[in-house]
Structure 1
């Protein structure tokens, strides 16, 4: 009986918080303080294990590890790509992010 009452109370608490949450609105219509359009891709940070999507990668380009001291030799079937300021090691066929070098270009 105590478990049932605890479950009911927990459900009531969780659902009341969701009901009280204010709806989110985008009042700035995708513009920053200077009136310039900000794309959603500029804010996406890829993480290890995530599927790489080129359309979400700002400043996308393939990187040559010979030109950059911080990049190791990629294993067979992998390649280094740039996404924003980060370097990502992705599987060439699977597209899964294997490693992330944050703030690579800074």
Structure 2
């Protein structure tokens, strides 16, 4: 009885990797499934008085050459940033939008 039990146990240890190997090789021959992820872009409509978070301010491109875009020089404590196709005059410390100019 012990010999039969030992033979069955050793056979199960030997056959288990073979069974999983055949499943893995069958999975390799299947066509790959391509999942397309749709990216939804929300266009934000900026309003005067909107408080921008620090994360939003970090992702904005600062406009240092404002004369190139025919913008007035920013007053002390403000800066011009470009968001999408708009120029925003925001407060440096508060992040409040005080002026919006649409670019061409």
Q: Decide which structure has the larger Cα Rg and report it.
A: 2
1:1-106 correspondence to structure 2 within 5 Å = 36-40=38-42, 43-53=43-53, 55=55, 60-64=60-64, 65-69=66-70, 71-102=71-102, 104=103, 106=104
Which ranges of structure 1 fall in alignment gaps of 5 or more residues? 1-34
Query: Which runs of structure 1 show a deviation greater than 2 angstroms over 4 or more consecutive aligned residues?
Result: 53-57
For these two proteins, the number of residue pairs brought into alignment is 66
Q: Report how far residue 80 of structure 1 moved.
A: 0.1
Q: Report how far residue 84 of structure 1 moved.
A: 0.6
The structure carrying a bigger helix percent of its residues is 2
**Contact 1:44–1:56 (8 Å) recurs in 2:** no
Which ranges of structure 2 fall in alignment gaps of 5 or more residues? 1-36
Output the TM-score relative to the length of structure 1: 0.53
Q: State the Cα RMSD in Å.
A: 2.2
Output the TM-score relative to the length of structure 2: 0.54
